[in-house]
Amino acid sequence: MVTIIGAGPIGLATGIALKQRNIPFQIIERGCLVNSIFHYPVNMTFFSTSDRLEIGNIPFISHGNKPTRNEALEYYRRAAEHYELPVKLYEEVRNIEGENENFTITTSKGIYNSSKIVIATGFYGRANMMKIPGEELPKVKHYYDEPHPYAWQKVLVVGAGNSAVDVALETYRCNAEVTIAVREAKLKESVKYWVKPDIENRIKEGSIKGYFNTEVLEIRERDVVLKTPDGEKVIENDFVLAMTGYHPQYELMNLAGIELTKDKVMMPVYNEKTLETNRKGVYVAGVVCGGMDTSRLFIENTRVHAGQIAEAIKQDL
């Protein structure tokens, strides 16, 4: 029995590849099916075309040039149904023990024996916390959903990248009173070129209040405390949308005994051909292979991992 941890597109693709080779497997997911995609903004459209998101040779037909979040959710759900993939949802892995061919996996719902383990948990699993007082308040969101709930509310957006810019503009256009706090002197150069002039002009005209070289010191029920170049400022606030980025589930890789590179990227160490890590019998698949480097690996260029891993496991049987 092979255990795949993560029911995202690559986890599902790996399950399909194993099934095509008649290798028994199960998929364990701590959230819902394709949990990361589910947590994308409701109105999100992919950069990729639908054909580049396909798995298991199942056509992905979208209504527009680029598929939407909802279309992707339906597509991957249908793919899982078509192949009758054994997926255990809302079940979090809490411990991994044993060795190759004899692993014991403890989850929030049970204990399983497994011959091999594939970790396909993606990049979007854990939010980068600000680690400040008040971050645990219900009004603080690290995953953005849609602009409507923030209409006529005082919203603080934290971040300097594409997500922060999109959130600031969407909520502003839904009649929120928006402030954006950026730790650096300017927005990131990676902000989409067709969006950057929009946010810069909104800040320049004062429609969106921009604080640069600024940190959030504290979040309170009715306001937030900012550390600005002009000193501390207290501003009224209803919601904080912290678009501070995400990181892989490193605690899971630690449980599995996977070695990481000794740099800021913190990539898992693995064989490029088989995707097997330093711990024999444990493989990594998908975007998780890139560690903190989010600009190199995506669904479309990691789908091949499924076949590579399934073939490597088949050869090892």
pLDDT digits (tens, 9 = 90+) for 137-160: 999 999 999 999 999 999 999 999
Rounded to 5°, the CA angle 92-93-94 comes to 110
- Which comes out higher in pLDDT, residue 80 or 125? 80
Residue 282 reports pLDDT greater than 90: yes
Tokens for 314, please give them: 């088949």
How far is residue 120's CA from residue 11's CA, in Å, rounded to a whole number? 5
Supply φ then ψ for residue 246, to 5 degrees: -140, 170
Strand ranges (E), 220-291: 223-228, 231-236, 239-242, 246-247, 282-284
What pLDDT score was predicted for residue 124?
81
Q: Are 198 and 170 in contact (CB under 8 A)?
A: no
Q: How many CA atoms lie within 13 A of 188 on its CB side?
A: 15
Where b means 16+ CB within 10 Å and e means fewer, 193-220 reads eeebeebbebbeeeebebbbebebbebe
Domains, the chain, in order of start with CATH, read 2-126+246-316 (3.50.50.60), 129-242 (3.50.50.60)
Model confidence, pTM: 0.90
Which strand (E) or helix (H) includes residue 76? helix 69-82
3-state secondary structure of 105: strand
The DSSP-derived string for 169-226 is HHHHTTT-EEEEE-SSSS--TTS-TTTHHHHHHHHHHTSSEEE-S-EEEEE-SSEEEE
Residue 224 backbone class (left: φ over 0; alpha: ψ -120 to 50; beta: rest): beta
pLDDT bucket at 125, cuts 50 / 70 / 90: confident
What pLDDT score was predicted for residue 228?
98
Mean predicted confidence (pLDDT) in 52-71: 95
Per-residue pLDDT reduced to its tens digit, 163-220 = 999 999 999 999 999 999 999 999 999 899 999 999 999 999 999 999 999 999 999 9
How far is residue 195's CA from residue 85's CA, in Å, rounded to a whole number? 40
How far is residue 231's CA from residue 2's CA, in Å, rounded to a whole number? 56
User: How many percent of the chain have pLDDT more than 90?
Assistant: 92
Tokens for 144, please give them: 């953005």
Residue 295 reports pLDDT greater than 80: no
Whole-number average pLDDT of the chain = 96
Tokens for 242, please give them: 């912290």
CA distances from residue 283 to 173, 192, 241, 274, 301 in whole angstroms, order as listed: 45, 34, 35, 8, 17
pLDDT bucket at 30, cuts 50 / 70 / 90: very high
Question: In sequence order, which residues have a C-beta less than 8 Å from that of residue 154 and are 6 or more positions away?
Answer: 176, 177, 179, 235, 236, 237, 238, 239
Residue 47 reports pLDDT greater than 90: no
